[in-house]
Amino acid sequence: MNLKFHKYQGTGNDFVMIDNREFVFDKNNLDLVARLCNRKFGIGADGLILIENHDSVDFDMIYFNADGTKSFCGNGSRCAVAFAKYLNIIESKTTFNAIDGIHEATINEDVVELKMGNVEQVEIGENHFFIHTGSPHYIEYKGDIQNLDIVLEAHKVRYNSRFREQGTNVNYVQKKSDVLEVRTYERGVEDETLSCGTGATAVALTGALKYNMNSPVLIKVQGGELTIKFNQLSDQSFNDIWLIGKGESVYSGEIEI
């Protein structure tokens, strides 16, 4: 059969989007998810997103990493909101369900403001931070991240005894003036991606802790820029957190499955 799909990207984080309100896609077929995300033998993407009906909110977003595992994805959620608007499910405001619960969002043209979950605990180590912003993030500040062999360095964290089984995303950060530059290695993709929304959010919060940066914080990722707004309650907790950036359609097509 031929499967209709759309391709969206948010600051270079790209996703296969499927309207699954009529269950045209078998969400249990994880091999198919991985094949469609494969950049050599499929469409190619960092993840795959299904939009389905939900009883109490506008839609259900089901997100898969490129390897078929599930998680929350901030950039994917922003793209899902843009896709839901394209499908005429929503207009300018929405509430939707994701793996970590209900989220709010607004969309103005192609700029999506996504409300993230509250952060109630931050692990502050001697040389790192660890924060869960819907997905787990290990964060380390360095003097130079552009010349960093990120896969080599990230593997030392991603596959150590603590994180080997459940996995973690790994972020390396460099502060330049009032901007935090970030490179992210994502679990599930198991490689560097051009952007990670939950990672950018986590990094912005560490900027508040490490450098007393005030909201909003501008994050520069490999694929563009993201803005994070938040309310800092203490050294351990934040609420009213918003991830802001563009969610854009790239192309649509059909693929035989």
The CATH number of the domain holding residue 28 is 3.10.310.10
Instruction: Give the active site residues.
Output: 73, 196
Distance CA 155, CA 32 (A): 26
According to the model, what pLDDT value does residue 146 have? 93
Q: Are residues 101 and 175 in the same domain?
A: no
- Residues 110, 187, single domain; the answer is no
Question: Do 139 and 93 share a domain, yes or no?
Answer: no
Tell me, yes or no, if the pTM score tops 0.85: yes
Low-confidence residues in the chain, pLDDT < 70 = none
Q: Nearest 10 degrees: CA dihedral of 147, 47, 106, 60?
A: -150
Q: Are residues 239 and 252 in the same domain?
A: no
Are 64 and 144 members of one domain? no
What's the structural domain count of the chain? 2
Are the beta carbons of 77 and 105 closer than 8 angstroms?
A: yes
Q: Structural domain of residue 141, as residue ranges?
A: 122-244
Q: Are residues 101 and 23 in the same domain?
A: yes
- Report the percentage of the chain scoring pLDDT > 90: 98
Q: Within this chain, do residues 19 and 68 fall inside the same structural domain, yes or no?
A: yes
Do residues 9 and 87 both lie within one domain?
yes
Q: Is the domain of 48 the same as that of 135?
A: no
The dihedral of CA 30, 36, 40, 44: what is its sign? Answer: negative
Measured CA to CA, the distance from residue 165 to residue 159 in angstroms comes to 8
Burial track 122-144 (b if 16+ CB lie within 10 A, e otherwise): beeeeeebbbbbbbbbbbbbeee
CB atoms within 10 A of CB 222: 18
106 lies in the same domain as 168: no
Conformation bin of residue 77: beta by default, left when phi > 0, alpha when psi is -120 to 50: alpha
The predicted pLDDT at position 15 comes to 98
Q: Tell me what pLDDT residue 69 has.
A: 93
Query: Is residue 70 domain-shared with residue 129, that is, in the same domain?
Result: no
Amino acid at 64: F
Instruction: Examine the domain organization and report whether 159 and 88 are in the same domain.
Output: no
Question: What is the token pair recorded at 94?
Answer: 């929405």
Amino acid letter, 243: L
